[in-house]
Every structure is written in structure tokens, then in C-alpha cells.
Amino acid sequence: MNIENIKSKLQTLDPNAEPEFGVMTPQHMIEHLILTVKLSYGRIKIPHFEPTEKQLQQKKTLLYELDEFPKGIRAPGLGDNLLPLRFQSLDEANNELLESIEKYKEHFKEQPNSTPIHPRFGGLNKSEWDLFHTKHFKHHLSQFGL
């Protein structure tokens, strides 16, 4: 994840922008990214599980075969309603996202062999998390033309 590139895109994100696809507001999208980054360095933990054959195929397809995530893909565990916002403003959420990215980088410097659990794919190593985050950020930032 190129933090400077992400930072420049966040600076242009209008808090009132309408998504080109999906239902998230800009702040919901940033808060969703925060959750996934925190999952990826173990700040938010989910129980260990062994992925099913279907989940392993999804992992292979989404991480290694597709150039980008398809529009309309749903995050595991999220229902039809948006989660309540946790931060007072988009700026506050943006700052938390950038801090979380730094903590992610620190985590893998200190624990390069860790495999935090992804809610769809099971344990991922750093290169898999990097690939996931690159595609995930691109997908969600493109919701708002970034």
C-alpha cells in the first residue's frame, strides 16, 4: 500500500460524494477500509477457521486471477444495512485509516510470518494481505471516482 498515494486520494474525497456503485457513503467506505486493515494486523480478531474448497477457490480467483474486485461483491458478515459510523467526521476517519496502515506495516516488520485471519479466506500472509489491500482499496476508492 502506497500511503502517499492513498493520502492524496483521501484529500480529494468529498464527504458528500455519491457513489458510482454500491451504497456506502464516503465515510462508511473509509470506516470499512479501517476495519479490514485492522483485521490484517490482528487488531481486530476473528476466530481461526479452515477455509472450505469454495472459499479457497474465491481466494484464488479474487486475489490471483482477477485484476480487480467485481462491482457488487459483498463483504462477508455484512448485511443489507450500513454499519453505524464510528467517527465524528470523514477527516477523523481518514486519519484513523492512515494510522492503521502504519500499524499494519509495523506489525509485519515485527512479525513477518504472521497470518492474521481474513473473514472469507482464512489466514493470509503479508504478501496475500498486500495483494488483498491493493485490490480492496482500488475497488472502494473507485466507488467515488478516485
> Is the pTM higher than 0.85?
yes
The CA distances from residue 61 to 65, 74, 110, 117, in Å, are 5, 15, 30, 18
Domain ranges of the chain: 30-44+89-146
Q: How far apart are CA 85 and CA 28, in angstroms?
A: 7
Q: How far apart are CA 69 and CA 51, in angstroms?
A: 19
Paired residues of 122 in beta bridges: 118
**pLDDT, tens digit only, all 146 positions of the chain:** 788 999 999 999 999 999 999 999 999 999 999 999 999 999 999 998 999 999 999 999 999 999 999 887 877 666 667 889 999 999 999 999 999 999 999 999 999 999 999 999 999 999 999 999 999 999 999 999 99
